[in-house]
Amino acid sequence: MDMIKTTIDGREIEVQRDRWALEVAREMGIEIPTLCHHSALEPYGACRLCVVEVTKGKWTWLTTSCDLPIREGLTIRTDTPAVIAARKTALELMLAQAPDAEEVRQLAEQLGTKSPRFPDRNESNACILCGLCVRVCKVVTGKMAICFSNRGTDRKVGPPFDRSSDECIGCNACVDICPTGCIESRDEAGIRKIPMLKTELKLADCEVCGKPFAPIRQLEHMQAKLREKFGDDFEAGCICPVCRREQTAARLHNVAEKIG
């Protein structure tokens, strides 16, 4: 393992070369705000809240820490006046972009950024264009049922070509990962609806209790993935999580009775 020395907020540590500065700083107990970071996904550097000040030799610059690989000789500061000012500006931009995002408003209040100098771009939106939904969709489906479109102030997230996409399996990964909760999903009358993606998918009925629980397309996708890995004989069954838990509990109970 290639270990190197670096200094973060005055504390020298030895770390593996090329680890992300954000992760190392957090392990040291240093708080750095983020909105577009998820440890399971590749960094993207969109929200710019994780900005830090880096010095190497006679050069000092500001950069995002989520996608900063630690190299020999870097000195990193996470709390300088320039860092705080850059975070405030990033928050002002986000507030203008997504005035309805509660998380952004709370962070802005904590950092003392209340009213944006920049004009509102979208009066009724909480999307901060962090790209987490786009990245997680690629990981889960291997495709892009949700993507960025347009440029500049018109940039937005939605289905490709603004039309309902066959790639969407209705798994709700984008809904669950969204830091501002701006992607809505609801199950109504046996249909999963995700309005932002123009998705409407029929839910499969649990073969035990008969209640609809997951989109048929999502189950087919998962079955195909599992068969790829474990072979054609793999059969997961169409059972909702509640019934599956009950079946497992009953099985364990039977085993315990036999042993006991």
Which residues would be at the binding site for ligand FES (CB under 6 A)?
34-37, 45-50, 64, 66
- Taking the least distance from each CB to ligand FES, the nearer of 83 and 219 is 83
Q: Assign residue 182 a region (left: φ > 0; alpha: ψ between -120 and 50; beta: otherwise).
A: alpha
In the bound state, the residue with its beta carbon closest to ligand FES is 66
Minimum distance between the CB of residue 101 and ligand FES, rounded to whole angstroms? 14
- Taking the least distance from each CB to ligand FES, the nearer of 46 and 95 is 46
- Taking the least distance from each CB to ligand FES, the nearer of 20 and 213 is 20
Minimum distance between the CB of residue 31 and ligand FES, rounded to whole angstroms? 13
180 vs 104: CA distance, rounded Å: 8
Tokens 């690989």, residue located: 69
Give the number of other CB atoms < 10 A from CB of residue 209.
12
Tokens 């901060």, residue located: 128
Which three-class secondary structure state does DSSP give residue 218?
Answer: helix
**Crossing angle of the two packed helices 102-110 and 81-97, in degrees rounded to 10:** 150
Minimum distance between the CB of residue 130 and ligand FES, rounded to whole angstroms? 7
Minimum distance between the CB of residue 133 and ligand FES, rounded to whole angstroms? 14
CB 106 within 8 A of CB 131: no
Minimum distance between the CB of residue 205 and ligand FES, rounded to whole angstroms? 41
- Taking the least distance from each CB to ligand FES, the nearer of 35 and 168 is 35
Instruction: Select from 167, 47, 186, 20 the least CA-distant residue to 104.
Output: 47
- Taking the least distance from each CB to ligand FES, the nearer of 32 and 140 is 32
79 vs 62: CA distance, rounded Å: 11
Q: What share of the chain is helix, strand, coil (3-state, %, to 5)?
A: 35, 20, 45
Minimum distance between the CB of residue 131 and ligand FES, rounded to whole angstroms? 9
- Taking the least distance from each CB to ligand FES, the nearer of 35 and 174 is 35
